Structure 1
Amino acid sequence: MKVVFALVVVGVSAILASPIDYNPDEWTLIPDSDYNMHLVSLSDVTFKKALAERSDFAVNFYLYTKKNPTTAQQIATGDADALRDSHFDAKNPTRFIVHGWRQSYTSEMNTEIRDKYFARGDFNVFVVGWSAGADTLDYIKAAGNTMTAGKKLAAFIDFVVESGKLNTDDTYLIGHSLGAHVVGIGGKNVSKGKINTIFGLDAALPLFFISEPSKRLAKGDALYVESIHTDGGILGFEEPIGNASFYPNYGNDQPGCGLDLTTACSHARSCTYFAESLSSPDEFLAVKCPEYSEITGRDCSTRGATARMGGQPSNYGRGVEGMYYLPVNSNYPYATGRV
């Protein structure tokens, strides 16, 4: 009975981000279908995740352009005729959007980000549907399925380069939660060019480890990798994992989320902030923090170098690197335009 009670206390404390100690080499926290965190034996889940990494399932690619902004044209890897007959235009920038756990290509984050790009100009926007691997109540399986989804994304990008003359240097990959790791794995495995920019929107933390960059989003997966952290340490990564890592409200407990015990609201804010940055590219102003301890200690000076989070175009080529803090509002518009 004491052991059971101790595990319950640890699980509840994790949700509330309390500093309860446990050995991360033996135990880990994963979310259930209601996004409540549960402490499980790492040895019990590692094998199951490894099996899922070798699984196979359908990954679909849905093209939207300003000529078909709301009705998708589905294109399969290797179907050169479908690509040729679509509205894909290699002269326009290309963006790939990848959803997270228990979502699909019709999820709100995809349409919100897609529409913001079209408001900016002509883009090829591919929404990646990997719900066959992501839409499961079993988080362990979904986490393992990011490997297959990422490799299939890379194969599709290589196909569009070959058959559609896609310019990888004008291509961005945007992924939320587990989708952030899908785009990271995708970027690693593209063989016909280097992706210009990857945006990782609160990359999922449970079952992904800083010591295993080959299995997650990491610096080097594109020419420029930007990670946006809004639920650090619970559903999302807290450590910096990109060329530049941005921490709205120090990376967790996002304003306006209220008593967010599951932290799902803070986790989703990364998508909302990114979408807003596409229409207000200079408003998410952030200040550079020299030390990671200034992020975790919530004490970053406002006198350092500044950069903007997200936006179109990205920060690639602007010398933006390191960790950045920015304040955000509790409701729309979330950008404050100041540090």
Structure 2
Amino acid sequence: HKKSCQSDLGSMSPVSGVVFKKCPQNVELIGLEMKLYTRNNLETPQIFKYDEAQKLNESNFNAAKLTRTLVHGYKTSCDHEWAVGMRQALLNESDINVFCANWEIGASPLLYDQAVANTHIVGLMIAKFFNDVSKVVGSIGPNLHLIGFSLRAHVCGIVGSNIPNCSR
């Protein structure tokens, strides 16, 4: 009998971590925020929950521009110097949309294995957000780049594999 983990985004198998197999925490506890930055709001983000893509019509998001999404890692947030520096560099270089997927609560449990398990649900939440964005403004997959390494890259891989025509 195989254990199954249930979430608002479906069921999945427990994720093998360093020591334990864990189920992801629930989406409310993880508290993902999609923080949008553009040249019109360089320092103060416009914040969306993963199921609020329809609110982009009331934001600085421009579907005609490229979209870059930063994903932070274990025990960090979108306020970490890596994410801030990358966001500033991207917006200095190009007039684009930059999202930072802030999952600080889900990325900061006591056990690293729990954060590893949370990557799966965080990836699905981000994918749902961008698939819903595509329903609002048309497909953004070809204009979407996901940026992360280490644990962050796992999240990006899950996102990319769940968005049709995701560029990178």
Determine if the TM-score, normalized by the shorter chain, exceeds 0.5: yes
- Residue 19 of structure 2 is aligned with which of 40, 45, 63? 45
Measure, in 2, the Cα distance between the counterparts of 1:65 and 1:170. 15
Measure, in 1, the Cα distance between the counterparts of 2:104 and 2:51. 21
Alignment of 1:1-339 (within 5 A): 45-47=19-21, 49=22, 51-52=23-24, 55-56=26-27, 57-80=30-53, 82-190=55-163, 193-197=164-168
**Given the superposition, is the C-alpha separation of residues 149 and 81 from structure 1 closer, same or farther in structure 2, using an over 3 Å criterion?**
closer
Measure, in 2, the Cα distance between the counterparts of 1:89 and 1:163. 12
Question: 1:77 touches 1:159 (CA, 8 Å); kept in 2?
Answer: no
Q: Which amino acid aligns with 1:61?
A: M
Deviation at 1:132, TM superposition (A): 1.6
Deviation at 1:115, TM superposition (A): 0.8
- Other structure's SS at 2:78 match: coil
Question: 1:59 touches 1:128 (CA, 8 Å); kept in 2?
Answer: yes
Give the corresponding residue for 1:208: none
Question: 1:101 touches 1:178 (CA, 8 Å); kept in 2?
Answer: yes
Question: 2:71 touches 2:102 (CA, 8 Å); kept in 1?
Answer: yes
- Other structure's SS at 1:196 match: coil
**Given the superposition, is the C-alpha separation of residues 81 and 195 from structure 1 closer, same or farther in structure 2, using an over 3 Å criterion?**
closer
Residues 108-156 of structure 1, C-alpha deviations (whole Å, 9 max, x = no match): 1111111111111111000000112101231111111101101101001
- Other structure's SS at 2:19 match: helix
- Other structure's SS at 1:88 match: coil
Identity of aligned residues (%): 32
Question: 1:99 touches 1:177 (CA, 8 Å); kept in 2?
Answer: no
Question: 2:38 touches 2:98 (CA, 8 Å); kept in 1?
Answer: yes
Question: 1:95 touches 1:125 (CA, 8 Å); kept in 2?
Answer: yes
Q: Which amino acid aligns with 2:167?
A: N
Measure, in 2, the Cα distance between the counterparts of 1:174 and 1:162. 23
Question: 2:133 touches 2:140 (CA, 8 Å); kept in 1?
Answer: no
Measure, in 2, the Cα distance between the counterparts of 1:81 and 1:182. 23
Unaligned runs of 5+ in 1: 1-41, 198-339
* TM-score under structure 1 length normalisation: 0.42
Residues 217-262 of structure 1, C-alpha deviations (whole Å, 9 max, x = no match): xxxxxxxxxxxxxxxxxxxxxxxxxxxxxxxxxxxxxxxxxxxxxx
Measure, in 1, the Cα distance between the counterparts of 2:41 and 2:118. 30
